[in-house]
C-alpha cells in the first residue's frame, strides 16, 4: 500500500513504466517457477496424448512395422469379446467397491466420532491397512483368500460356513478383490472423520430441540453435511477403481477363464506381452472414454445431492 | 449430551411428573450404557477384522511350514522360526539387499525431486501474477483426470528411443517434473499464507526466489512433509512403473522382486510372508512416525473438495 502512495506522488509517466517493468519481471518469474510442470505437460502429457492417438490408428509393434489402419483398431475392439468382458469385470468391481467402500468408511468414522476413548489407537488400527498397498497386499491377500488354509475361509469355518474357492472360482474371484479393496477403506474413513468433526454442534442441538431422533439427525444433518466429502471420494475412487491392475496381475493373472481380466490388465497384455501397441493404445483411449463418461455423470448429478454449507450466499 | 440430560430433571421434572421422568431417565441411562457397550463391541470387532490379515502375515512369517495350514489357526507359533527371514533374504540372486538398495535409491531421489519441483510450481501459481495463470491452472486440474495408461506407451517409446529403458531414469525424471496432484495440494497451502509477506519482502528488494526459499518454504514445513511422505509411499509401492521399465535382475525394486519371489517360492509360504513383511515394514514405520502430520495433510487435501 505504501508503494502506491509513493508512486502516485511521483507522477504518471514514471509510474506506468515502473509498473510495466514489474509486470514483465513477474511474468518471467512466474513462468520460470512453473517450468517443471510445463515441461511435464508438453513432454509427458500433450505430446504423449497426441502420439498415443496416432498409434491407436496404426498396426505397430513399435520396432519393425508401422502401418496406418485408420479406425480398424477401434472396430476390432467393438467386436472383441474380451474387451467387453474386461469392461464388465472392471465395471462390476468398481460399482460394487465404490458404494460399499463409502458405506463402510462412513460407518467406521461415525462410530469413532462418538467420543470414544483412545481415538488415536482406533484410527491407526483402521487406517494402517490402507497404507500398505500394492504388491505386498496382493500377495498377502492371495493367501488370505486361499480356499484351504486362508485366513478368511478358516474364519468362516469357525462360524460354521464352508467358504467359496475365491480366486479359483469364476463367480467369487471379483468379490474376493472387492473384499481386499474394502480392507483399505481406512483412507477414506479419515476424510469422513475430519468432515464429521467440522460439523457445527449447534446444528445437532437445534435438531434435538425440534425433536429429531438420532436417526433423523444422522439422516438430515450428518449426511448432507458430509456430501462434499462423499462427492470427492466417489470421484477419486471411480477414477482409481477403473484403473485396477496390480491385484489381477499378481494374484490371478486375469483368470480363472478371464473372470478377473480388468481393462488395464488387458491393455498391458496386448501392449507389453503381445506387442500390439496400436491396439493397446486404442484400448487405453476406450478406458479414458469410459472413465470420462462416469466422471461427467457424477459431476452432473452432484448439483442434485451435494450440499455446500456456504452456498446460500452465492 | 449427558450433562444436558442430567440438569433437566432436577429443575423441571420434580414439579410436574417426578415418577414418569425418573423412569424415562432410567430408561435413557440404560440405553445409553447399552449403546456404549454396543459401540465398543462394534469397534473392537471391526478393528480385529481390519488387523487380522496383518497379524496373520506376521504370525505366518514365523511359522515352520507344517503349521501354516493347521486348523484352528495357530496365532502364536510355539517356537518362532526367525530363520525364515534370513533364508528368504538370501534366496534370490541377487539378494534382497540389492533390491532394497535400488528401492531406497529411487524413493529418496524422488522424494527430494518431488518436494522441490512441486513447491516451485505451486509457488508460481499461488503467489505470482502472470499472463494466463488461471487458464494454465485449469489445464493442470484437467490433467488429473487422465488415466496414465493413455500416455503410457508413447512415454515408454520416448525412453526406449533415448536408450534409457532398464535404467532408473524413466522412474525418476518424471517425478522431478512434478505432478498435478502435488502442485494442487501445495498451492492450496501456499494460498493460505498471508500475501502481504511477499509485498513487504519485495519492498526490501527480495527476489521471488528469495521469497520462495526464505519465507514460504520455512512456513510450509508440515505441507512439505505430507508431500514427502506421500511420495515415499507411492514410490515404495510403485509396481507398474518398474514392471514396465526394469527387467535386469540387479536393477529390480522390492515390489517387483517380491512378486517374483512369491511366484518362485509359492510352496514356501512362511518365507514369502517374511519377505512381504520386510517389504511392508518401511512404509508402516514411516507412517507411524509421521502419523500426526500425515493425517493432517490428508485432511487438508480432503477438504479442498
Q: Are residues B105 and B165 in the same domain?
A: yes
Q: Are residues B48 and B104 in the same domain?
A: no
Which conformational region is residue B163 in: left (phi greater than 0), alpha (psi within -120 to 50 degrees), or beta?
A: left
Within 8 A of B70 by CB-CB distance, chain A residues are 149
- Which residue in A124, A140, A205 has the most chain B C-beta atoms within 10 A of its own C-beta, making it the best mutation to test that interface? A140
Q: Work out the minimum CA distance from A285 to partner chain B, whole angstroms.
A: 6
Q: Are residues B36 and B107 in the same domain?
A: no
> Contacts for A53-57 with beta carbons within 8 Å, 24 or more apart?
A53/A281, A53/A285, A55/A277, A55/A278, A55/A281, A55/B153, A55/B154, A56/A278, A56/A281, A56/A282, A56/A284, A56/A285, A57/A278
Q: What ipTM was reported for this prediction?
A: 0.79
CATH fit for domain A75-313, picks 3.40.50.620, 3.30.1360.10, 3.30.1180.20, 1.10.3720.10: 1.10.3720.10
Residue B138 near chain A (CB below 8 Å): no
Torsional sign, CA A46, A49, A52, A56? negative
- Which residue in B116, B131, B149 has the most chain A C-beta atoms within 10 A of its own C-beta, making it the best mutation to test that interface? B149
Q: Are residues B161 and B39 in the same domain?
A: no
Q: Are residues B161 and B119 in the same domain?
A: yes
Within 8 A of A272 by CB-CB distance, chain B residues are 244
pTM: 0.81
Q: Is residue B265 part of a domain?
A: yes
Q: Are residues B23 and B94 in the same domain?
A: no
Q: Is residue B186 part of a domain?
A: yes
How far out from the chain centre does Cα B213 lie? Answer: 26
Residue A303: phi and psi, rounded to 5, are -60, -30
Q: Which of A151, A155, A130 is nearest to A141 (CA)?
A: A151
Establish how many alpha carbons lie within 13 A of residue A132's alpha carbon, considering only the half-sphere containing its beta carbon.
29
Residue A39 near chain B (CB below 8 Å): yes
**A81-112 vs A186-197: helix axis angle to the nearest 10?**
40
CATH code for position B175: 1.10.3720.10
Q: Is residue B67 part of a domain?
A: no
Number of structural domains in chain B: 2
Q: What is the pLDDT along chain A (314 residues), one digit of tens a residue?
A: 334 443 444 444 455 555 688 888 889 999 999 999 999 999 889 988 898 899 899 888 777 778 888 888 999 999 999 999 999 999 999 999 999 999 999 999 888 888 888 877 888 888 888 877 788 888 889 889 988 888 898 888 888 888 888 999 999 999 999 999 999 888 888 888 878 877 888 888 888 888 888 888 888 888 888 888 888 888 888 988 999 998 899 888 887 889 999 999 999 999 889 988 899 999 999 999 999 899 889 888 888 888 876 554 33
Q: Is residue B72 part of a domain?
A: no
Q: Are residues B30 and B163 in the same domain?
A: no
Q: Is residue B34 part of a domain?
A: yes
Q: Domain range spanning residue B10?
A: 2-61
Per-domain boundaries in chain A: 2-73, 75-313
Q: Is residue B240 part of a domain?
A: yes
Residue A184 near chain B (CB below 8 Å): no
Q: Is residue B222 part of a domain?
A: yes
Amino acid at each position: 500500500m505504501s508503494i502506491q502512495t509513493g508512486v502516485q506522488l511521483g507522477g504518471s509517466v514514471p509510474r506506468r513504466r515502473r509498473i510495466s517493468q514489474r509486470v514483465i519481471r513477474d511474468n518471467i518469474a512466474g513462468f520460470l517457477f512453473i517450468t517443471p510442470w510445463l515441461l511435464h505437460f508438453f513432454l509427458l502429457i500433450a505430446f504423449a496424448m497426441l502420439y498415443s492417438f496416432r498409434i491407436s490408428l496404426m498396426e505397430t509393434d513399435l520396432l519393425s512395422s508401422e502401418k496406418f489402419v485408420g479406425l480398424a483398431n477401434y472396430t476390432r475392439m467393438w467386436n472383441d469379446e474380451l474387451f467387453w468382458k474386461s469392461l464388465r469385470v472392471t465395471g462390476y468391481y468398481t460399482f460394487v467397491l465404490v458404494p460399499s467402500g463409502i458405506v463402510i468408511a462412513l460407518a467406521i468414522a461415525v462410530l469413532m466420532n462418538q467420543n470414544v476413548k483412545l481415538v488415536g489407537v482406533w484410527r491407526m488400527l483402521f487406517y494402517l491397512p490402507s497404507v500398505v498397498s500394492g504388491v505386498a497386499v496382493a500377495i498377502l491377500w492371495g493367501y488370505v483368500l486361499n480356499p484351504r488354509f486362508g485366513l478368511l475361509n478358516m474364519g468362516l469355518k469357525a462360524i460354521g460356513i464352508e467358504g467359496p474357492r475365491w480366486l479359483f472360482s469364476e463367480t467369487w474371484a471379483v468379490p474376493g478383490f472387492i473384499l481386499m479393496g474394502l480392507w483399505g477403506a481406512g483412507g477414506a474413513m479419515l476424510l469422513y472423520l475430519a468432515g464429521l468433526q467440522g460439523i457445527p454442534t449447534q446444528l445437532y442441538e437445534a435438531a434435538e430441540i425440534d425433536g429429531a431422533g438420532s436417526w433423523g439427525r444422522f439422516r438430515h444433518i450428518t449426511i448432507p453435511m458430509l456430501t462434499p466429502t462423499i462427492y470427492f471420494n466417489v470421484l477419486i475412487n471411480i477414477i482409481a477403481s477403473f484403473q485396477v491392475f496390480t491385484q489381477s496381475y499378481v494374484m490371478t493373472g486375469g483368470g480363472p477363464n478371464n473372470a478377473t481380466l480388468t481393462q488395464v490388465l488387458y491393455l498391458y497384455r496386448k501392449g507389453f506381452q503381445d506387442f500390439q501397441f496400436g491396439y493397446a493404445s486404442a484400448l487405453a483411449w476406450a478406458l479414458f472414454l469410459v472413465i470420462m463418461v462416469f466422471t461427467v455423470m457424477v459431476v452432473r448429478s452432484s448439483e442434485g445431492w451435494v450440499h455446500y454449507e456456504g452456498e446460500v450466499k452465492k | 449430551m449427558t450433562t444436558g440430560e442430567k440438569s433437566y430433571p432436577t429443575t423441571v421434572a420434580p414439579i410436574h411428573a417426578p415418577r414418569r421422568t425418573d423412569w424415562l431417565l432410567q430408561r435413557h441411562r440404560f440405553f445409553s450404557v447399552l449403546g456404549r457397550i454396543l459401540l465398543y463391541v462394534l469397534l473392537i470387532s471391526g478393528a480385529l477384522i481390519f488387523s487380522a490379515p496383518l497379524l496373520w502375515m506376521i504370525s505366518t512369517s514365523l511359522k515352520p511350514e507344517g503349521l501354516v495350514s493347521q486348523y484352528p489357526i495357530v496365532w502364536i507359533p510355539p517356537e518362532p522360526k526367525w530363520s525364515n527371514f534370513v533364508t528368504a533374504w538370501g534366496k534370490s540372486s541377487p539378494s534382497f539387499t540389492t533390491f532394497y538398495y535400488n528401492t531406497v535409491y529411487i524413493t529418496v531421489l524422488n522424494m527430494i525431486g518431488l518436494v522441490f519441483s512441486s513447491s516451485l510450481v505451486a509457488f508460481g501459481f499461488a503467489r505470482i501474477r502472470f499472463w494466463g495463470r488461471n487458464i494454465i491452472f485449469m489445464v493442470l486440474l484437467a490433467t488429473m483426470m487422465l488415466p496414465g495408461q493413455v500416455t503410457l506407451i508413447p512415454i515408454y517409446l520416448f525412453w526406449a528411443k533415448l536408450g534409457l529403458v532398464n535404467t532408473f531414469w524413466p522412474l525418476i525424471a518424471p517425478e522431478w517434473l512434478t505432478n498435478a496432484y502435488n502442485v494442487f495440494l501445495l498451492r492450496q497451502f501456499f494460498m493460505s499464507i498471508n500475501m502481504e509477506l511477499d509485498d513487504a519482502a519485495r519492498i526490501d528488494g527480495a527476489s521471488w526466489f528469495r521469497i520462495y526459499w526464505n519465507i514460504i518454504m520455512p512456513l510450509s514445513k508440515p505441507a512439505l512433509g505430507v508431500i514427502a511422505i506421500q511420495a515415499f509411499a507411492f514410490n515404495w509401492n510403485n509396481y507398474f512403473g518398474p514392471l514396465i521399465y526394469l527387467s535386469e535382475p540387479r536393477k529390480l525394486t522390492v515390489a517387483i522382486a517380491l512378486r517374483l519371489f512369491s511366484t518362485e517360492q509359492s510352496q514356501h509360504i512362511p518365507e514369502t510372508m517374511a519377505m512381504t513383511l520386510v517389504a511392508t515394514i518401511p512404509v508402516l514405520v514411516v507412517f507411524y512416525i509421521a502419523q500426526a502430520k500425515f493425517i493432517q495433510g490428508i485432511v487438508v487435501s480432503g477438504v479442498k473438495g
